[in-house]
Amino acid sequence: MPFKVLVTDKLDKEGIDLLKKYPELEVIEKETLKGDDLKKELKGYDAIIIRSDTKMTREVIEASDGLKVISRAGVGVDNVDVPAATEKGIVVMNAPLGNTISTAEYTFAMMISLARKIPFAHAVTKIEGKWDRKTFKGVELLGKTLGIVGLGRIGTEVGKRARAFGMRILGYDPYISDELAAQLGIELSSLEKIYKESDFITLHTPLTEQTKGMISKKEIEMMKKSVRIINCARGGIADEAALAEALQNGRVAGAAIDVFSKEPPFEPRNPLLDAPNCILNPHLGASTSEAQFNVAVESAEAVANFLIHGMIVNSVNMPSVSKELFARLKGFITLSEKMGSMISQCIEGQIKELRITCSGEIEEKDLSILTRAALKGLFNRFLGDTVNYVNSTSTAKSRGIKVVEEKDEAVGEYTNLITLAVKSDQEQMILGGTVYSNNQYKVVRFNDYFFEVDPQGTLIVISNEDKPGVIGKVGTIMGERKVNIASMQVSRKSSENKALILLNVDSVITTEIENLLSKVPEILKLKIVKL
């Protein structure tokens, strides 16, 4: 029986033809399907290839039977519930490379259109039939300052084009080294500097908890009145209501928007639809023949290789190893990723180095899968879905982050121990973890403190002065706010009169609770870690 592949959202013909060449695959093309229709149709399929219109929600994924892979022909997998797919053992793949140039060129087209008011002049000439040569005086790009937020694939390509136009380029990205930025002719700056000094600001980050609404009323207040904002990344990175208001009252000179927090943006009506000086397009950044060819071929090849040969590439939720080895290493892979994620949520400054040391009995000789998992965890907070097990090492390389792998055969207190030591430009952080024979994993070291903790759910990490009463104060705050403490571990460094408290809690930690904890005088540092 051939593997059944469902293709929705109009995948480029080249991708379909490639799939059809394999006798092992049966390819069925459908228009975009939604909700119950999608749930019904999905039954019996091994793979689905989608673009951004098909929403693979938890409900749809849970209702599927036998689905092995979801392939997203594009970068963002925000239309796929990745945790739900992971829980069901479904591989989620993306095609991160194919549409970079299209989107970078398109961003530039948006910037020039804004600077020269081209769409507005076009509308008046063609639609209103008026010959108006006074209203549409624009500005030149030469000598203007461009602020790029997010210096990944697309952001850096935009930077290269801006150089050719003689622009001064400021950039912000927590995972780019000064050296690399300098090579690109970009001055790494704080967000504040970008907001204050830029004539144009363009956004190229994924949509994450940190980036959602990162440009809102407060940030707009810092900007020049002549600023023009471009968002060809994901809707909602610039808060839509705040931006619409700023366009209405002239606080911002113009905006060009390709993406919306809800697409299409008509119901409920997006406030940007009624804002002046605002170019709005229906998510067209990747809409070129070249990009659609690239992502269709990238996705089709990945799906064929996975179904026919069991090979995993470009996965956002699985490492690229055979299924058998993955099952054996699962505990180590998950532990490495969780420790990477814990460090990224606790460390201050720009990451410079990751050293991963595997001691004792770890079956796999090639440790790269654990390094990839640790890096995926480390980057996930900033790169969101675009980092996967396959590209996490190259991502580190392209960002000038040194990665060192070490194997130490010696068996110490634990039969196996994975240690991650991460250096930033401000500090070093070390985490150690072990996997028991039942595949249970624990974090057993946090810098110079030793304990055994489950890296699951919400973890509160408290560094405090080792004085009587601190635990009581923390317990009282939690109790009064009805936060159930699942476990509490305390480790002390008596030489320095310091201690570390790790709390696993069942509920969400609100900003109010965080503020109350921060006010406890003996608490030196506090981090809320979500795993």
User: What CA–CA distance (Å, rounded) separates 112 from 107?
Assistant: 9
Kindly report the backbone phi and psi dihedral angles of residue 318, in degrees, each rounded to the nearest multiple of 5, phi listed first.
-140, 145
Residue of 283, 381, 399, 445 marked catalytic: 283
Nearest CA to 52 among 390, 376, 295, 389? 295
Nearest CA to 225 among 203, 254, 205? 254
263 noted as active-site residue: yes
Residue 6: C-alpha distances to residues 31, 37, 232, 262, 450 (Å): 10, 13, 28, 25, 50
Which CB atom, from 145 or from 464, has the smaller least distance to ligand NAD? 145
Question: Which residue of 114, 151, 303, 478 would you call a contact of ligand NAD, by CB under 6 A?
Answer: 151
Longest Cα–Cα distance in the chain? 82
Q: Which residue is nearest to ligand NAD (CB)?
A: 152
Cβ 210 to ligand NAD, closest distance in Å? Answer: 4
Tell me which H or E stretch contains 403.
strand 402-408
- Residue 234 within binding range of ligand NAD, rule CB under 6 A: yes
Cβ 200 to ligand NAD, closest distance in Å? Answer: 16
Scanning 145-153, 215-223, 407-415, 501-509 for contacts with ligand NAD by CB under 6 A, the matching segment is: 145-153
User: What CA–CA distance (Å, rounded) separates 302 from 313?
Assistant: 6
Site for ligand NAD in 260-319 (CB under 6 A): 283, 285-286
Which CB atom, from 73 or from 176, has the smaller least distance to ligand MLT? 73
Site for ligand NAD in 168-207 (CB under 6 A): 172-175, 204-206
Query: Coil, strand, or helix at residue 276?
Result: coil
Question: Which residue of 15, 76, 147, 265 would you call a contact of ligand NAD, by CB under 6 A?
Answer: 76
Question: Which residue of 18, 48, 188, 259 would you call a contact of ligand NAD, by CB under 6 A?
Answer: 259
Scanning 231-239, 245-253, 445-453, 489-497 for contacts with ligand NAD by CB under 6 A, the matching segment is: 231-239
Which CB atom, from 51 or from 355, has the smaller least distance to ligand NAD? 51
Binding site for ligand MLT (CB under 6 A): 51-52, 74-76, 99, 283, 285-286
Residue of 234, 355, 381, 399 marked catalytic: 234
Name every residue whose Cβ is closer than 8 Å to that of residue 9 and which is 6 or more positions away in sequence.
32, 50, 51, 52, 53, 54, 73
Q: Are 470 and 499 in contact (CB under 8 A)?
A: yes
Q: Give the amino acid at 308.
A: I
- Residue 56 within binding range of ligand NAD, rule CB under 6 A: no
Site for ligand NAD in 460-519 (CB under 6 A): none
- Residue 390 within binding range of ligand NAD, rule CB under 6 A: no
User: What CA–CA distance (Å, rounded) separates 332 from 387?
Assistant: 19
Total residues contacting ligand NAD by CB under 6 A comes to 33
- State the DSSP code for 413: S
Cβ 21 to ligand MLT, closest distance in Å? Answer: 24
Cβ 15 to ligand MLT, closest distance in Å? Answer: 13
Residue of 59, 263, 301, 465 marked catalytic: 263
Q: In what order do the strands lie in the sheet with 168-172?
A: 187-188, 168-172, 145-149, 200-203, 228-231, 254-257, 278-280
Place of tokens 């317990």: 475
Site for ligand NAD in 81-140 (CB under 6 A): 99-100, 103
Cβ 303 to ligand MLT, closest distance in Å? Answer: 16
Which CB atom, from 52 or from 211, has the smaller least distance to ligand MLT? 52
Place of tokens 């959202």: 9
- What is the DSSP code string of 31-46? ----HHHHHHHHTT-S
User: For every residue of 444-491, which 3-state class applies, written as one string?
Assistant: EEECCEEEEECCCCEEEEEEEECCCCHHHHHHHHHHHCCCCEEEEEEE
Cβ 30 to ligand MLT, closest distance in Å? Answer: 17
Which CB atom, from 51 or from 399, has the smaller least distance to ligand MLT? 51
Cβ 191 to ligand NAD, closest distance in Å? Answer: 7
Cβ 101 to ligand NAD, closest distance in Å? Answer: 10
Binding residues for ligand NAD, rule: CB under 6 A, are 75-76, 99-100, 103, 149-155, 172-175, 204-206, 208, 210-211, 232-234, 258-259, 283, 285-286, 382-383, 386
Active site residues: 234, 263, 283
